[in-house]
A and B are shown apart, each in its own frame.
Chain A
């Protein structure tokens, strides 16, 4: 127990005085400390008085100890803090903090005023979240006493997604620390020293050149307006917030959506998401508002009349779709399920295909995800990864196979960085577009990876394994296993994790997965994680949709909730249900406008099996409805009993079976012809995100991801 301001409070070993105080509800002002970051001790505002300790130690770096007696608010301390804060404010535009008219002004000028430069007053985008203001209020500082020493640094606005105005930077170092210590990227650093210290890049190059991954972690920890998200910086205070699970990739990060004017305004990683632990990526952090506020949203139900689509009301659209679908035999109808719909919608679509349409084919619209899920089910009896992402935190070796994580699952870098800092070996087979791939201990470029993988697995296999034979059998010009010895040594008998990504698609994916699972993942302490590309493939698979049968090329009627796969050419009647307008609209006979991520309710399942709630923060555009509601109305239109969400509740996930080699290899069937992965890595409901988000286009072009 520790005594803080006369209050006896408990603490856990390893906690600092600041942490103990914060948990006990005692406020100690601070600007440089952050719950996600190791203590730094730079701002000097959290100085406290501790009995029998010389001077005034900072609460953020002093470990709490039994029988410690701490005072946080004596007059001496507050005077010193005020004096330090005044010094900080002498180099930070401060009229918004110390102006005598502040209270009145804020009553009438609610939103900050757009301005290129922050010079104080109402011109700062961080007005609503500025931590300096909070500290100034606490310390009751209402005069600065110095003329403003304005650094006059140029504004840095040449990079996508966020802008930098280091004239308001107070050098707390949170951005530098989060980028280096948490993300392992180090796209920014302290440069120069003393009064000339500035956060910046090597030789002042742009963030695009400097290897920034635009995850936005720096923006989110910045206590001032120095760093701000370009698209949303002037939106002011959100009216509404909701915790939801991002479905722009398979990780399922918990994010906080912020809404205003019935639109999604911003999206910020949630502090305690099970898969992302407070971190995010360029997609979830910056792409949600521009994507879902895009002008290409579908707003009204459309029905094709005399060759052209015309807006109609919902009843007419549903009736038209039901009428059309009823014309076909069940065997002639295919349902193509988007990997971004909720678990509930997936369940209902499954019911629709089985019970209402009497056995229409239904398939997940995601090439890699369906293949990987189906293959893993045939290997383990349970579709999906054999462990959770947290397995990376315990691994001694991480084997990344065919996964360009920097593009497809950027947030996983955080765990890889932590693993490497712990001393785990990171082995990377296949493509990487990470411009700053400091994480990797052994890198095997794409051209060589298949043979090295085969070699590694052969070394690891104690006896001949079917999986290995299947893999190595496919190697033309297979010459040797250079480097395989080092890799197999790093993996043998270790706690290991294999991360398998979409990059295996062109190279006999089923054989690769089988061999990996059979030889490596089957060993004790090893997990195999499938890096599912899409938001809710796992959930849709769990709803029973994956791997039942393939979509027929000759289906006559199609009900599509996604639009990425190539549509069977022969379809006579097409019902499209999507949030975005796309080329497919031209082939549709009926179009249902559906809601998107920030408008949805329900649950989704992360690629490692976490079922999370999806909550809305805004309304959809026009007459758009939730997918589940549309399906439900369609079922009714087809004469079935109206389904509701409660009847769509998920059953329990199947329990994973321990790996065994009881399966016949024949299950794998023939290899699909090598099909290159699409250039653009990220889709939502079949829509290329980069197409809708201009800054993402800039970023991907710069990295050479898209032409």
Chain B
């Protein structure tokens, strides 16, 4: 009966791809929805009502290029789907009308076809500059399959990895993972097989497996995308891991900010139960395993293993010192393994293709691929997957298409609040755990935020410290107080009232917090400060000595003014200004009353491009300290 799963899956998948009615796929992950996918889908259904009432609409996850959302793929009978980006309810109606009834494929708007080669003169979407440099293993199903259809997952060789694992002994599974060189994708990159072995050997029953989906780094959404687009991949990974360590129960600890991912997971768990993939005797073997979803309640520190367990136990998410390690005494004092979503999502690939084959990709010390969320001041933002060892340049300029508005590239931030800023000069750095750590940053879970010359590095340090200071659990003194003291100094500097010794002070406190803190949050919290001090010392000095913020971000250090020569007196800024700080007659030059101005920037943004009369200007030396 089991064998039927894959057969049935393949049939249903084929029926979809070779459907004799049109199929419209809508990228409806959270990112797509934020871009308006729900309204687009509504418009699609409405339009299909007129055009082709039998046509099907399928919601898929995120295929990666979020900058092009909402994405709609139109599949005509017998043809591969054509991808159209940046859709709105209005444009999608036009696309459907043209493609389905007029036979006009709107070549200029088509981004590509979802097939290996070109079709009707439209190149493969996989040849798109954002996708071409990628190696999609973990993300191989995202945006392709319908995440609520377990059959689609079966059709794409889903649960074959588990099947193979269950045919082996747990030790052999651990060995296979060891051969793959898999390291934790959640931050520090600890070898997964080693973690498992500790837990396997630990005394205590039952043992627990926790999937850490508390993706808290601001600027990172790899886990969300994977869970929304291909939940079964992660769940299959959990089964493999649980089998290997001998766990009988699993938890998924997931941020409550990810309602769609939670919905997809709950749905997937239900399907798994129906298919005998969860509960007693998984796949008819002697392996019993069940999974519970635990929603986080809004605490970044709960990404830390011991805090996460405290949270599942119904306590304040305060980390505790190790030893004992979770693998020895974890959840409710029992041996526990906590693996990141992506680590688990990688396991089906490893089990399917074999550890050695998997290890064929990546760099010397880090095998396989890594997903990143590429965001910030880059042209093409979204979710990407590349082999370890890929140079930053390739990520930013090939995949990301370079800096937004062709401004100058200043830095790239990795690892979220625990990471650091890597300067443009290190753009050829090949990304893996060790190289990022050497550069003062960390791999983290995979957030990459690109910064251009309009980004102030003091402000970036201040931003991250505000974040960690807010998210510190408050238990240990170096983190609770040290981050606060550092933040105060950064505030001073941003206001232009910093002192010469402040950089020295910052370094000292940062070192104390790094060496003295109880958990990973505190130990890495100073990284954004330390790396910006290391690579952007001159910007700090400018703030302190000259009262100048070259990026014009620190509001106390610049002001807006209107160039009377350029002002055309259109009155747009006059009308927009929320505090009536702008005066001037129609067609005459306008001026800004500096005493009233709150520097919201509305005038600057709204000044017509042909005039460009509103400027940001450095404060004079007198204005600085005032």
Contact = CB atoms under 8 A, between A and B. Distances in A.
Direct contact of A and B (CB under 8 A): yes
Interface of A: 39, 41-44, 47, 55-58, 61-63, 80, 83-84, 87-88, 90-91, 145-146, 149, 170-171, 173, 190, 192-197
A-B residue pairs, 4 tightest by C-beta: A197-B474, A41-B321, A83-B512, A61-B321
Contacts of B480: 171, 194-195, 197
B510 to A, nearest CB: 11
6 contacts: A44-B517, A83-B516, A87-B481, A90-B485, A193-B474, A194-B470
Contact of B512 (A80, A146, A193): A80
Contacts of B472: 193-195
Contact of A43 (B471, B474, B476, B485): B476
Contact of B485 (A42, A47, A58, A87): A87
B481 A57 contact: no
A38 B340 CA distance: 31
A63 B323 contact: yes
B478 A44 contact: yes
A55 B473 CA distance: 21
Interface in B495-516: 505, 508-509, 511-512, 515-516
A197 B515 CA distance: 22
Contacts of A170: 477
A83 B517 CA distance: 12
B477 A44 contact: yes
Contacts of B477: 42-44, 84, 87-88, 170-171
A57 B474 contact: no
A62 B475 CA distance: 18
B184 interface: no
B320 interface: yes
Secondary structure at the A interface, as helix, strand, loop or mixed, is loop
B518 A44 contact: yes
B223 interface: no
Nearest to B322: A61
Given A58-B321, A87-B509, A195 B474 contact: yes
B482 interface: yes
A57 to B, nearest CB: 7
A62 B324 CA distance: 9
Interface residues of B, number: 31
Residue in A43, A47, A87, A145 whose Cβ sees the most chain B Cβ within 10 Å: A87
Given A87-B509, A90-B485, A195-B469, 19 more contacts: A39-B321, A41-B476, A41-B518, A42-B475, A43-B476, A43-B477, A44-B516, A58-B321, A62-B323, A84-B478, A87-B485, A146-B485, A171-B475, A193-B299, A194-B469, A194-B474, A194-B480, A195-B481, A197-B475
Contacts of A47: 516
B484 interface: yes
Interface in B504-556: 505, 508-509, 511-512, 515-518
Given A80-B512, A87-B509, A193 B481 contact: no
B316 interface: yes
B307 to A, nearest CB: 11
Nearest to A65: B323
A83 B514 CA distance: 12
Residue in B473, B477, B480, B508 whose Cβ sees the most chain A Cβ within 10 Å: B477
A520 B511 CA distance: 64
Nearest to B519: A41
Residue in B321, B508, B511, B518 whose Cβ sees the most chain A Cβ within 10 Å: B321
A190 B316 CA distance: 9
Nearest to A55: B515
Nearest to A146: B485
A489 B368 CA distance: 59
Contacts of A88: 477, 481
A395 B389 CA distance: 62
Contacts of B299: 193
A87 B522 CA distance: 14
A80 B515 contact: yes
Nearest to B471: A194
A146 B508 CA distance: 13
B379 to A, nearest CB: 37
Contacts of A58: 321, 518
B109 to A, nearest CB: 49
A358 B81 CA distance: 116
Nearest to B523: A55
B476 A42 contact: yes
Nearest to B487: A195
Given A44-B477, A190-B474, A56 B321 contact: no
Contacts of A41: 320-321, 476, 518
Residue in B299, B481, B509 whose Cβ sees the most chain A Cβ within 10 Å: B481
Contacts of A83: 508-509, 511-512, 516
Nearest to A89: B481
A64 to B, nearest CB: 12
Interface in B442-473: 469-473
A170 B477 CA distance: 8
B323 A194 contact: no
A193 B484 contact: no
B396 to A, nearest CB: 33
A87 B476 contact: no
B601 to A, nearest CB: 30
Contacts of B474: 171, 190, 192-197
Contacts of A61: 320-321, 323
Contacts of B511: 83
A389 B320 CA distance: 34
B8 to A, nearest CB: 49
A193 B508 contact: no
Given A87-B481, A146-B485, A56 B473 contact: no
Nearest to A31: B477
Interface in B477-494: 477-478, 480-485
A56 B515 contact: yes
A149 B480 CA distance: 13
Contact of B473 (A44, A146, A193): A193
B526 to A, nearest CB: 13
Contacts of A63: 323
Contacts of A56: 515-516
Nearest to A86: B512
Contact of A87 (B470, B482, B515): B482
A295 to B, nearest CB: 46
Contacts of B469: 194-195
A55 B480 CA distance: 19
Contacts of A173: 475
A195 B477 CA distance: 10
Residue in B320, B474, B484, B508 whose Cβ sees the most chain A Cβ within 10 Å: B474
A42 B518 contact: yes
Nearest to B475: A42
Nearest to A189: B316
A279 to B, nearest CB: 24
Given A41-B518, A44-B478, A197-B480, A84 B471 contact: no
A192 B517 CA distance: 19
Contacts of A43: 476-477
Contacts of B471: 194
A429 B539 CA distance: 72
A84 B509 CA distance: 9
A194 B518 contact: no
A44 B523 CA distance: 12
B400 to A, nearest CB: 34
Contacts of A84: 477-478, 512, 516
A188 to B, nearest CB: 13
A90 B518 CA distance: 19
Contacts of B508: 83
Given A41-B320, A87-B478, A91-B481, A194 B512 contact: no
Contacts of A195: 469, 472, 474, 480-481, 483-484
A55 B320 CA distance: 16
A366 to B, nearest CB: 45
Nearest to B515: A80
A80 B321 CA distance: 18
